A and B are shown apart, each in its own frame.
Chain A
Amino acid sequence: NAGVMQNPRHLVRRRGQEARLRCSPMKGHSHVYWYRQLPEEGLKFMVYLQKENIIDESGMPKERFSAEFPKEGPSILRIQQVVRGDSAAYFCASSLIGTENSPLHFGNGTRLTVT
Chain B
Amino acid sequence: AQTVTQSQPEMSVQEAETVTLSCTYDTSESDYYLFWYKQPPSRQMILVIRQEAYKQQNATENRFSVNFQKAAKSFSLKISDSQLGDAAMYFCAYRSVLRSYNFNKFYFGSGTKLNVKP
Residues of A close to B107: CB separation below 8 A:
45
Residues of B close to A55: CB separation below 8 A:
104
CB-based contact A97/B104 at 8 Å: yes
Interface size band for B: 20 to 34
The digit string for B87-105, where 1 denotes a CB below 8 A from any CB of A, is: 0000101010100010011
Residues of B close to A48: CB separation below 8 A:
104-105
Known contacts A48-B104, A91-B45; A101 and B33 CB within 8 A of each other: yes
10 cross-chain pairs, A with B, having the tightest CB-CB distances, nearest first: A106-B45, A42-B110, A43-B108, A42-B111, A100-B97, A103-B47, A109-B43, A101-B33, A103-B35, A104-B106
The digit string for A71-115, where 1 denotes a CB below 8 A from any CB of B, is: 000000000000000000101010101001101111011010000
**Interchain residue pairs with CB less than 8 A apart (5):** A45-B108, A104-B45, A104-B93, A106-B45, A109-B43
Residues of B close to A109: CB separation below 8 A:
43-44
Residues of B close to A91: CB separation below 8 A:
45
B→A interface (CB under 8 Å): 33, 35, 37, 42-45, 47, 50, 52, 91, 93, 95, 97, 101, 104-111
Q: From DSSP, what is the main secondary structure of chain A's interface residues?
A: strand
Residues of A close to B44: CB separation below 8 A:
106, 108-109
> Is A41 interfacial (CB-CB < 8 Å)?
yes
A56 to B33, CA, bound (A): 19
Known contacts A100-B97, A101-B52, A103-B50; A42 and B33 CB within 8 A of each other: no
Residues of A close to B91: CB separation below 8 A:
42-43
CB-based contact A56/B108 at 8 Å: no
CB-based contact B45/A56 at 8 Å: no
